Structure 1
Amino acid sequence: MHYREVATSREFVVRLETGGDWRAQLEDLAAREDLEAAWFTGLGAVQDAEVWFYDQDRQEYDAVTFDEPLEVAACVGNVADLDGEPFAHTHVVLSRPSGQALAGHLDAATVWAGEMYVREFEEPLVREHDETTDLDLWL
C-alpha cells in the first residue's frame, strides 16, 4: 500500500459548460488554476458518453459508447500530473430513464449540465507507469 498525508488548500465549485467535454473541462480547470493534485466529485447530465472498463487479464481498456441522454448520478476522481499535463482520472455512474445504471472510467462525455466540487492538495500527485497493472498510477 502506498499512502501519505496530504494537506488541502483551495476549493472550487464548478459549473461545466453545456456542449463541452466533461473530463476535458476538468483538465482545463486544472491547467488554468495550476492544480497539480486534487480530488473531485460531481453530478449532472450528459448527452452521450464513452466509458472504459479495464480488462485485468489483457491489461487493456474496452470502450463502450452511449449515444443517448444520461443522468450523472455520481462522478468522482482525482487530478494528477501525467507526462507533464493535468490528467483527470474520472469514474462515473450514469443512469438511463429506466433507472438502469452504467458505470466505469469516463473517457469523454458531452455535458448537458454538470456541477463539480474540486479540492486541491498542496502536494503534487504524479502518475507513473506501474509494471504490475500496466496502468499509470500516482505514487
Structure 2
Amino acid sequence: MRWKLLSSGDKATYALIFESGDEVVETMKTFANEHSLKASSFKAVGAFSEAMLGYFDYTIKDYKKIPVNEQVEVLSLIGDVALYGDESQVHIHVVLGRENGNAIGGHLLQAKVHPTLEVILEESPSYLQKRMDEETGLALIVID
C-alpha cells in the first residue's frame, strides 16, 4: 500500500492506495496504529479478488462467515477507527458487486485487493474509545 497526506492540521486527510495482493483489514489496522489514529472515518472504491465477510449473529454473539471466492467490485466500503485500550481498531463494512450485477455485503473480515483499492481517510482532532459490551460481546464506541 502506498499513501499520501493530503491535508494536515486538526483534521488530517490521507489517500491510501492499495495494490494487487494487498490484504485490506490488517493493512488498515497497521496504518492506523503507525499513525496513532484515534477517531477517523474512511470510504473507498476498487476491487477484490477474494474476501471474507461477516454477518453478526446476535444469538451466538459472533460473526457468521460469508466467503467470497471471486473477482468483485467494491461498490462501497465505509468504516471508522477508534481506540480499544491503547490500540487503534478498524471497523469496516462493504458492499461488493458480482459479475452478474448482484450485490453482497457485510462486515469486512479480510480481503485481497485486485487490482486496486482507493481509500480516503479523514482524521478527527478528537478521539473515540471502544469498550467491551457484555450484552453483545462486541467492542463498541462509548461516548462519555
Same fold (TM over 0.5): yes
Q: 1:62 aligns with which of 50, 61, 64?
A: 64
The CA deviation at 1:58 is: 2.3
Q: 1:46 aligns with which of 41, 45, 48?
A: 48
Could you tell me the TM-score, scaled by structure 1's length? 0.89
Q: Which has the higher contact order (CA 8 A, sep 6+)?
A: 1
Q: 2:132 aligns with which of 125, 129, 139?
A: 129
Contact 1:16/1:25 (<8 A) preserved: no
Between 1:111-120 and 1:32-41, the stretch displaced more is: 32-41
Could you tell me the TM-score, scaled by structure 2's length? 0.86
2:74 alignment counterpart: 72
User: Following superposition of structure 1 onto structure 2, how do residues 1-139 of structure 1 map, counting pairs within 5 Å?
Assistant: 9-112=11-114, 113-139=116-142
For residues 32-80 of structure 1, what are the alpha-carbon distances to aligned partners after superposition, in whole Å with 9 as ceiling and x for unaligned? 2221120000010001000000012222210111111111000001011
Between 1:124-133 and 1:84-93, the stretch displaced more is: 124-133
Paired with 2:137 and 2:25, the residues of 1 have a C-alpha distance of: 22
Secondary structure of 1:9's match? coil
Secondary structure of 1:133's match? coil
Secondary structure of 2:67's match? strand
The CA deviation at 1:82 is: 2.3
For residues 74-119 of structure 1, what are the alpha-carbon distances to aligned partners after superposition, in whole Å with 9 as ceiling and x for unaligned? 0001011224322110000011100110100001000111001101
| Gap runs ≥5 in structure 1 | 1-7
Paired with 2:20 and 2:32, the residues of 1 have a C-alpha distance of: 19
Paired with 1:20 and 1:14, the residues of 2 have a C-alpha distance of: 12
Identity percentage over the alignment? Answer: 30
AA aligned opposite 1:123: S
The CA deviation at 1:10 is: 0.6
Q: How many residue pairs get matched?
A: 132
| Gap runs ≥5 in structure 2 | 1-9
